[in-house]
């Protein structure tokens, strides 16, 4: 799990492993409250298979929730 983030959900993209949806919870961090997708990996953060980084999803939890839709609407 990326440092400073907590798990809030799971996405089932093209990647067979899926992606965790995480939120930055580090107060004072410029990305505090932002939501990201993180492709699952077992290696330590930013090593081996865990170097994909985070994909920005939304600037806030409210923005994330407001952006949810049925799969057929994607």
pLDDT digits (tens, 9 = 90+) for 21-55: 999 999 999 999 999 998 877 777 778 777 777 88
Token pair 């929730």 is found at: 65
pTM of the model: 0.79
Residue ranges covered by each domain of the chain: 5-73
Q: State phi, psi for 71 to the nearest 5 degrees.
A: -55, -40
3-class DSSP state of 16: coil
Q: Above 80 in pLDDT, residue 3? A: yes
Helices within the chain (DSSP H only): 61-66
């Amino acid at each position: 799990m990326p440092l400073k983030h907590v798990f809030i959900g799971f996405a089932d993209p093209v990647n067979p492993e899926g992606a965790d949806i995480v939120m930055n919870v580090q107060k004072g961090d410029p990305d505090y409250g932002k939501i990201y997708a993180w492709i699952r990996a077992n290696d330590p953060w930013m090593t081996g298979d865990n170097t994909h980084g985070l994909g920005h999803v939304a600037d806030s939890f409210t923005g994330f929730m407001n952006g949810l839709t049925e799969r057929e609407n994607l």
